[in-house]
Amino acid sequence: MILALSAAPAGICQTSYWSSSAVPGTPEAGATPSVTLGLQFTSDVSGSVTGVRFYKGPHNLGTHVGTLWTGGGAKLAEVTFTGETASGWQQANFAAPVNISPNTPYVISYLAPAGNYAFDSSFPWSSPRPGPLHVSGGSPGVFSFASGVSFPASSYLSGNYWVDLVFVPANTYWGSAVPGTQEAGATPSVTLGMRFTSDVPGSVTGVRFYKGPHNLGTHIGTLWSGGGSKLAEVIFSGETGSGWQQANFSTPVTITANTPYVISYLAPAGNYAFDSFFPWSNPQAGPLHASGSSPGVFSFGSGVSFPGSSYLSGNYWVDLVFVPTSTTYWTSSAVPGTPEMGATPSVTLGLQFYADVPGLVTGVRFYKGPHNLGTHVGTLWSGAGAKLAEIAFSGESASGWQQANFATPVNIAANTPYVISYLAPQGSYPFDSNFSWSSPHTGPLHVSGSSPGVFSFASGVSFPTNSYLSGNYWVDVVFVPTSGSTAPISSPISSPLVPPLQTPVLHTVTVSWTPSISPSISGYNIYRSTTSGGPYNKLNLLPILTTSYLDAVVVAGQTYYYVATTVQLTNESGYSAQTAAVVPSP
């Protein structure tokens, strides 16, 4: 099927509320006493706030301090801005990301000690804005005059002070997928779960399960270690009559990469979702993965118990809410065999890499020997040599791993080559020849090519493409996965007590389209409805970089209607012409 794409722009939001191209009408409102300026906001989804941004005019001077607050004024994180430019968007990252809950008010702010802040009055806050970030209240731009940081709660003329946050949405395993059998019938009280692992470390912030209309009683969500130790528990409240339910733990639980855990919930009246002979072996986009050949587990008991039994390779449609933390290719305990090669002319040293999943490159790292001196400059490049981000290192230690964070994280696509590099102006860089690059490396980051360590001699930063003796120059990338998850395939419908009489028939729909003629698009979005003309629901989390999409969550006998849009930086086109697909039955 072919979709012809149009390109009428309509604003969309990605990892911040304001795009980097958005600018104030009034960049400076004039000198005032010291003032804290902020934005009240909510998020549609769980996730983590990693930093704060503000738009700076040339006379907005002094030490700026960014803060994240609860809606009630409790301080959650604070950071002092460094390395600012004279004007434009500035960003500072918190020492540790802060997990936030969906549909809950927060405030992001910064201190402007000399005033001269950006301000636009009578701002059109009521204009609709796509999620996941939204302003909160009728006048979300807030301020507070004080000599130091203070909670901003006052507003004036519905003003916008151009404050922003940096946000990473949480991941789930199932996304919006739905079971084939939403209710398996009444049973005794039972705890239902899923064994899982993550490619990267992070925090489990909550538990989800799919509820049928007769799955009643008090549901209790639990996170367990793979061996059955209880790590967190929460009682569900405010549930809807059916569909996905979510409860957040009072404190997020940090989990280790590539380690088995179990997420579960108690269904005291049974009537849980169940699909037998589920195709668990189909690949699932990272960083979350089901663990074992039969990861759907259960345990009958009057209260919460560790689920360790499985039946007919069943799926009980239990899920977790996960916020990944940043990961790197090299661990901090990895060190070069040769920390210094001796002085050489100025050289840019790099690593060719790719990621299994889409995400954000937030910074660059390199291993430093004591004589690797001068101003080091970190750069992220496309595989073809286009410069995507650059940062000068500051506050380095005498030796060991050094890190610098980009002013704005850079979105990268999955399975696409990139290069991360740094400039060593006086040489004395680490170098290990004949490095064993072919040794397996746990995801989501991987080196690209047979000799991924690269260099380029030049007086300034240059794109490194040369290699020598399969060498490793000990350069690294800081990466945060951002991919959400969708079910890997549609589910056969069956009863938990009666095995199916025949092998289930599984269906998918492949949607393809002609590429846009616009040279500046950054991808496509695909939307689906079961009603001709909509309303449509978006299927992908991040823009699709190819011209086809596999819809694997379909029901036999159902007709689906698809439309597509193009994405251009922070703009999205209108819908394309609709096309229909009829899924065979059975």
- The 3-class secondary structure across 69-80, one letter per residue, is EECCCCEEEEEE
pLDDT of residue 344: 86
pLDDT of residue 553: 60
The span from the CA of 473 to the CA of 399, in Å, is 15
Q: Which residues contact 466 (CB under 8 A, 6 or more apart)?
A: 454, 455, 456
Contact 422, 336 (CB under 8 A): no
Q: Which residues contact 542 (CB under 8 A, 6 or more apart)?
A: 358, 411, 482, 483, 484, 523
3-state secondary structure of 457: strand
Q: Which of 70, 68, 73 is nearest to 50 (CA)?
A: 68
Quick count: other Cβ atoms within 10 Å of Cβ 35?
23
Residue range(s) of every CATH 2.60.120.820 domain in the chain: 172-324
What are the pLDDT tens digits along the chain (586 aa)? 234 322 222 222 336 788 777 889 999 988 889 999 999 999 887 788 888 999 999 999 999 999 999 999 999 999 999 888 889 989 888 877 788 888 899 999 999 999 999 999 999 887 656 668 899 888 999 999 999 999 999 999 999 999 999 887 777 888 778 999 999 888 899 999 999 998 778 889 899 999 999 999 999 999 999 999 999 999 999 899 999 999 988 888 989 888 999 999 999 999 999 999 998 876 565 678 899 989 999 999 999 999 999 999 999 999 998 877 778 899 878 899 999 987 889 999 999 999 887 788 888 999 999 999 999 999 999 999 999 999 999 888 899 999 888 877 787 888 899 999 999 999 999 999 999 887 656 678 899 988 999 999 999 999 999 999 999 999 999 888 765 433 333 332 222 332 222 223 346 678 888 887 777 777 888 888 888 888 887 776 567 777 877 776 666 677 888 888 888 766 788 888 888 888 775 5
Residue 582 CA neighbour count, 13 Å, CB half: 4
Residue range(s) of every CATH 2.60.40.10 domain in the chain: 509-582
Is the N-terminal amide bond of 339 cis, ω within 30° of 0? no
The span from the CA of 188 to the CA of 192, in Å, is 12
Instruction: Considering the domain delimited by 172-324, tell me its CATH architecture.
Output: Sandwich (2.60)
Instruction: For residue 276, give both structure tokens.
Output: 């037998």
End-to-end CA distance of the chain: 22
**Phi and psi, residue 443, nearest 5°:** -70, 175
Element (H, E) at 579: strand 579-582
In order, the DSSP letters of 237-274 are -S--SSEEEEEEEEEEEEE-TT--EEEEEEETT--B--
2.40.160, 1.10.1660, 3.90.1150, 2.60.120: which CATH number matches 331-473? Answer: 2.60.120
2.60.40.10, 3.40.50.2300, 1.10.760.10, 2.60.120.560: which CATH number matches 509-582? Answer: 2.60.40.10
Contact 564, 188 (CB under 8 A): no
- What distances in angstroms separate CA 415 from CA 124, 242, 257, 354, one per listed residue? 40, 37, 20, 6
User: What sign results for the dihedral spanned by CA atoms 289, 303, 497, 492?
Assistant: negative
Q: Which of 114, 93, 112, 266 is nearest to 167 (CA)?
A: 93
Secondary-structure class of domain 12-168 per CATH: mainly beta
- What distances in angstroms separate CA 68 from CA 75, 105, 179, one per listed residue? 6, 11, 38
Contact 206, 323 (CB under 8 A): no
- What distances in angstroms separate CA 309 from CA 189, 329, 569, one per listed residue? 15, 36, 48
The span from the CA of 14 to the CA of 21, in Å, is 13
- What distances in angstroms separate CA 482 from CA 36, 254, 322, 327, one per listed residue? 31, 17, 10, 12
**Phi and psi, residue 426, nearest 5°:** -120, 15
